[in-house]
Structure formats: structure tokens, C-alpha cells
Amino acid sequence: MNQDAMKQQVAAAALQQIPDDIVLGVGTGSTVNALIKLMCEQRKRLTACVSSSEASSALLRAGGYEVLDLNTAGDLSLYVDGADECDPNRCLIKGGGGALTREKIIAAASKRFICIIDASKQVPVLGTFPLPVEVIPMARSYVARELLKLGGEPMWRENFTTDNGNQILDLGRLQIHDPMALEDTINSIAGVVTVGLFAHRAADQVLVASADGVVEL
């Protein structure tokens, strides 16, 4: 089974876990796009959505869903999103699509966070996927120098601006044995908006698609 088919499968499994008539937190990326497509096709009944990116908001609106600002919606009962890597403790690397800051905010404001991935995203130790760090533009070089001191290799994601008007450094060559400590360390560098490590607020539930079907981690 190819990766796209696995994304479809895990999106279908997630859809079954979403109650009707809630305000749903919706993430960003191709796996979430598969979920949005299914929601639209099956006319999933929702009160509204809160989304982590302009791209997801556009798809949701095109499908007839109301997209609320988080300030209006308040806390959410459920957030569904993908990830770039997931370790055995459900800690995640996110932000491959550049939406990490809004994703982290929605995850924090949600009672339950279901992460949907295919088996290629499961790793024993986070860090093979370069860790995204959203930075204020004027701080980019300073933050890159600080990240170098941590032993990683920061790369500027050129020609990319986040929905918040910021830039991204992707930090490669890491083996993240203590995700909570690294999340704290990177978040405390001046100029960092967010690091795409979801350790303090890990996923509550991870649905993993493989050739054998969907299982819960």
C-alpha cells in the first residue's frame, strides 16, 4: 500500500472518532487534507472548525464549514492533526508544513489531540526529520547561531513565510533523547516564536496506518 492510501485510511479512522456537532480543531498537511476531503464528501455534521493554517481554512470553507477564530471558539474538545515524526511516548515533531505555531496553540487549547500518521513517521528517537523552528525575521541569524551551539545544523527554509509573517529554520542532525528539555531550551532563545517539538503537549492518541490497517499507538 502506498503512503497516500495509508493517509486516506488513517483519515477515515479519525473521522469515526469525531463526534457530531462539535467545534473541531483541524490541523494542516496532506493527511489532514485527506480528512477534510472525507468530511466534505460525507457531509460530516460540525458546529464549526478552528484551523491551524490559511490553507486548511480555505479547504474547510470551500466544503461549507464555518471557520472560527480561536478567540471566538474558546477551548476545544478535540483537535486532529498529522505529524512529521512520532516517538513511543507520543511526542512529536511537527511543522513540516510550516504551521507549527498555530498547531501548538490549538493543541494547547484542546482537551484531546488525536494525531494521524502513517507508519513511516514512527521513530524510536525524534530528530531524523529536521526540527522546524519559527523565528521572528530579524532574529533569524542570531537564532541560527544559538541553535548551532546545541549541536544541530540549522537551515533557513528560504522563500517561505509562515501564516504569522515569520521565517523557519529547520534544525537537522539531532538525536532528541529528552524532547521536553530541548523544547524548553529552544523556546527560551530570544527571537524564537515556537519550536515544532510537541513534548509538553504530546498527542493523547496516535492513529497509525500501515499495510496491515490502522492501529492505535
DSSP 92-134: EE--TTS-HHHHHHHHHTEEEEEEEEEGGGB-SSB-SS-EEEE
The stretch among 28-36, 58-66, 183-191, 203-211 that binds ligand 5RP (CB under 6 A) is 28-36
Q: Which of 8, 9, 14, 27 binds ligand 5RP (CB under 6 A)?
A: 27
Stretch that binds ligand 5RP, among 22-30, 105-113, 175-183, 204-212 (CB under 6 A): 22-30
Among all residues, which ones are annotated catalytic? 103
Site size with ligand 5RP, rule: CB under 6 A: 17
Residues 41 to 100 in contact with ligand 5RP, rule: CB under 6 A: 81-84, 94-100
Q: Which among 55, 53, 33, 27 has a CA at the least distance from the CA of 164? A: 53
73 touches 135 (CB < 8 A): no
Q: Does position 29 bind ligand 5RP by CB under 6 A?
A: yes
Q: Quote the CA–CA distance of 165 and 116 in Å, as a whole number.
A: 27
Cα(first)–Cα(last) distance of the chain, in Å?
A: 20
**29, amino acid identity:** G
In the complex, minimum distance from the CB of residue 26 to ligand 5RP, in angstroms, rounded to a whole number: 11
Binding-site string for ligand 5RP from residue 94 to residue 133, where x marks contact by CB under 6 A and - marks none: xxxxxxx--x------------------------------
Q: Which three cell numbers stand for residue 84?
A: 512529521
As measured in angstroms, the least distance from the Cβ of 143 to ligand 5RP is 19
Q: Which is nearer to ligand 5RP, 83 or 139 (CB)?
A: 83
Supply the DSSP string of 167-201, one letter for each residue: EEEEEES--BS-HHHHHHHHHTSTTEEEESEESTT
Q: Which residues bind ligand 5RP (CB under 6 A)?
A: 27-31, 81-84, 94-100, 103
